[in-house]
């Protein structure tokens, strides 16, 4: 059997290997999907199901599906675009505690649409037509480079965790390093294949993807609650590092409340974790640790809680003041973000809150 003019040996074993990797990826994805908290596990389910697509794609090509249905081979590659951003988001949860869909996340649909815009004109043409191969190769190369950028961002997040870790390096950290390095190597080999059409590059790339799927499946057995275990280990490392630096969390909490309640630091629209940590003369990860472990809150929720509390007070005490003015006064940069956060915290809108507090005649 040949693929893109390359003579394959042992193709049956390779197909079985790839299908096994796809199977493990789908099993992991479905395992996340059937868990009770879909909001918490939906990102993981989507990521691991997407990992199965390249493995299924190469298996279908080796089995000759694309020779009978030429256009089928152009349908799956654009979906690979999401592998990079979702991998980065997955690992970033360890630092930011939870992943929430935001508007800017949907910007990744733009390169996805562009990829289809390039491939649609050659859809349905035989795979042996030269310009069809050229366009598909160009799109795949760009997609792999796009994915590679986000894998390196995930590696930077991992480096942040390693800097705050204690010795000896926890086993779950070592496993995670292997995950990320295999993923990066896998994409690098695929880029090599796209440039050189090297049989070895393709075998190494898709082979490593299957190894990664099986390794993740094994890791899920060792660490059933992988993200929770990673977060606990990260929190433990940061706590130990903080203790070594002599941080008095009780004193820091007192200063935090002073900044919020007396100096109204929350009213600063540009307030960030780094700026608040600087005001407290501690490191950002130390502030994050204290908020998470001592006050059971993320930085964003902590600040917005004070902003909404201040807004409720102003809505009651200044019934004639415009809501937009109150929104800016407590630190929100837009009326829409103020309304959505107010509704999230209080269960009602600012207008309805004011009516209930001071009466409908206002």
Sorted by where each begins, the domain ranges of the chain are: 2-234, 246-358
**Do residues 47 and 92 lie in contact, with contact meaning Cβ atoms separated by under 8 Å?**
no
Q: What's the predicted TM-score (pTM) here?
A: 0.58
Q: Which helix (H) or strand (E) holds 2?
A: strand 2-3
pLDDT attached to residue 53: 82
> Side-chain half-sphere of 68: how many Cα atoms within 13 Å?
5
83 in Cβ contact with 50 (< 8 Å): yes
Number of C-beta neighbours around residue 52 at 10 A: 22
CA 329 from centroid of its chain's CA atoms: 32
- The whole-number pLDDT of residue 8 equals 44
Across the chain, what does the average pLDDT equal?
A: 79
Tokens of 355: 């009516």
Which fold is adopted by the domain 246-358?
Answer: Arc Repressor Mutant, subunit A (1.10.10)
Q: Is 75 left (phi over 0), alpha (psi -120 to 50) or beta?
A: alpha
Share of the chain above pLDDT 90, in %: 8
Q: Are strands 2-3 and 6-7 parallel, antiparallel or unpaired?
A: antiparallel
How confident is residue 1, by pLDDT bands cut at 50, 70 and 90? very low
By the 8 A CB rule, do 187 and 151 touch? yes
Partners of 2 in beta bridges = 7
Q: What's the average model confidence in pLDDT over 218-234?
A: 77
245 or 322: whose pLDDT is higher? Answer: 322
Number of other residues whose CB lies within 10 A of the CB of residue 30: 13
pLDDT band (50, 70, 90) for residue 216: confident
Contact 1, 11 (CB under 8 A): yes
- HEC string of 283-343 equals CHHHHHHHHHHCCCCCHHHHHHHHHHHHHHHHHHHCCCCCHHHHHHHCCCCCHHHHHHHHH
Q: Which of 18, 13, 45 is nearest to 212 (CA)?
A: 18
pLDDT value at position 285?
Answer: 78
Share above pLDDT 70 across residues of the chain, in percent, rounded to a whole number: 81
User: What residues contact residue 185 under an 8 Å CB cut-off, 6+ apart?
Assistant: 204, 208
Tokens of 190: 């695929």
CATH of domain 2-234: 1.20.1070
Picking from 136-150, 327-341, 348-362, which range would have the lowest pLDDT averaged per residue?
348-362
81 vs 132, residue with greater confidence: 81
Closest Cα partner for 119 from 175, 70, 74, 59?
74
pLDDT grade for 5, boundaries at 50, 70 and 90: very low
pLDDT, position 277 = 87
For residue 163, the model assigns a pLDDT of 74
């Amino acid at each position: 059997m040949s693929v893109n003019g390359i003579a394959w040996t042992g193709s049956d074993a390779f197909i079985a290997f790839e299908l096994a990797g796809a199977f493990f990826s789908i099993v992991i994805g479905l395992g996340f999907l059937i868990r009770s908290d879909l909001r918490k596990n939906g990102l993981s389910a989507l990521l691991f199901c997407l990992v199965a697509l390249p493995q299924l794609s190469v298996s279908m090509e080796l089995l000759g599906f694309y020779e009978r249905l030429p256009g089928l081979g152009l349908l799956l590659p654009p979906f690979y675009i999401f592998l990079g951003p979702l991998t980065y988001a997955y690992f970033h949860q360890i630092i930011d505690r939870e992943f929430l869909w935001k508007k800017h996340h949907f910007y990744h649909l733009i390169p996805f649409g562009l990829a289809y815009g390039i491939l649609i004109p050659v859809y349905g043409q035989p795979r042996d037509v030269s310009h069809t191969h050229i366009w598909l190769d160009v799109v795949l190369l760009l997609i792999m480079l796009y994915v590679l950028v986000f894998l390196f961002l995930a590696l930077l997040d991992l480096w942040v965790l390693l800097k705050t870790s204690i010795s000896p390096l926890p086993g779950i950290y070592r496993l995670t390093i292997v995950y990320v390095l295999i993923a990066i190597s896998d994409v690098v080999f695929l880029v090599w294949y796209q440039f050189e059409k090297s049989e070895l590059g393709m075998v190494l790339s898709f082979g490593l993807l299957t190894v990664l799927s099986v390794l993740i499946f094994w890791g899920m057995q060792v660490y059933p609650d992988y993200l929770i275990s990673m977060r606990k280990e990260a929190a433990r490392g940061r706590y130990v590092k903080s203790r070594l630096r002599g941080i008095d969390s009780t004193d820091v909490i007192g200063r935090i409340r002073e900044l919020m309640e007396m100096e109204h630091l929350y009213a600063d629209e540009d307030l960030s974790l780094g700026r608040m940590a600087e005001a407290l003369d501690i490191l950002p990860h130390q502030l994050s640790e204290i908020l998470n472990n001592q006050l059971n809150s993320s930085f964003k929720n902590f600040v917005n809680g004070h902003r909404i509390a201040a807004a409720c007070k102003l809505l009651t005490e200044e019934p004639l003041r415009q809501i937009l003015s109150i929104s800016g006064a407590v630190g929100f940069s837009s009326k829409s973000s103020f309304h959505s956060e107010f509704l999230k915290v209080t269960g009602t809108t600012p207008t309805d809150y004011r009516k209930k507090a001071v009466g409908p005649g206002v």
